[in-house]
Amino acid sequence: MSVQRLLEKYPGFTNVLRILVEDKVYTPIDKLARALNQTMVRTALYEALRYAMTEVRKDCSSISDENERKKCEKRKKLTLPNEEEINRLLTEIEKDLSIAQKLALLALSHVSR
């Protein structure tokens, strides 16, 4: 599956991984890249989604730094993966574990965009 196809097919997870990279929270991405089985992938995706949900739900009004507040407000507009996207990704990874590694590479390659 091409990088462009992954971006289009999993926009919510693309946003999740982008948040992690922007914040230099690489552990879930590293786990995703090194996953040897579906259990490891599910754990990495859970950790990634949990972190992103916390960031998206953060109260921006209490942030005094203007740049950080703008970043927080921008994140509130991001779409996270819904149940259908999560199930679709997990089903595909069950068939082809390399998709997890491609997602990890994709996340790191889009840090500056």
CATH number assigned to the domain covering 3-109: 1.20.120
Task: State pLDDT tens for residues 83-112.
Answer: 999 999 999 999 999 999 988 888 888 654
pLDDT for 20 equals 93
Task: State pLDDT tens for residues 8-43.
Answer: 899 999 899 889 999 999 999 999 999 999 999 999
pTM of the model: 0.85
**HEC profile for the chain?**
CCHHHHHHHCHHHHHHHHHHHHCCCCHHHHHHHCCCCHHHHHHHHHHHHHHHHHHHCCCHHHCCCHHHHHHHHHHHCCCCCCHHHHHHHHHHHHHCCHHHHHHHHHHHHCCCC
